[in-house]
Amino acid sequence: MENKEGKAAGEKRSIKVMNLILVIVGISLLVFTIVMIQIFQMYGSVPDTLVTCVYATLGGECGIMGWIKTTKDRTRERKWEKQDQREAKEEAMQMMSGDTADGA
């Protein structure tokens, strides 16, 4: 039997691509921050442009992934909504045809 995500009930879950990317972004940001602290301790300043670019790039990546996830979820919800409407319409048609058969 499948759940709403389309996976079998007993199927093993593997790490998804977006979750992997988020882990990589988090680790990269942590390592970058530690290296920038070490550079600051050695030289008394950090390359501000590099820091700004790294944070902007990683923030942009996370923003794009959030947009993709939201779009996927909205599309899937819309598909389920359409399916529910179609099933409700079919049930109503069956009930109406059943009522007409009983009344005749």
Tokens of 37: 């602290």
The chain-wide mean pLDDT, for the chain, equals 85
pLDDT by residue (tens digit) across 21-34?
Answer: 999 999 999 999 99
What is the total count of domains within the chain? 1
pLDDT by residue (tens digit) across 27-79?
Answer: 999 999 999 999 999 999 999 999 999 999 999 999 999 999 999 999 999 89
Give the predicted TM-score (pTM) of the model: 0.63
Q: Evaluate whether residue 12 is within a structural domain.
A: no
Q: Evaluate whether residue 51 is within a structural domain.
A: yes
- Per the model's pLDDT, the better-predicted residue between 8 and 94 turns out to be 94
Tokens of 68: 């993709």
Residue with tokens 């550079």: 39
Asked if 80 and 4 count as a contact pair (C-beta separation under 8 A), the reply is: yes
Residue with tokens 């996927």: 72
Binned at pLDDT 50, 70 and 90, residue 1 comes out as very low
Give me the domain span that covers residue 88: 17-99
Question: At 98, is the secondary structure helix, strand, or coil?
Answer: helix
Question: At 16, is the secondary structure helix, strand, or coil?
Answer: coil
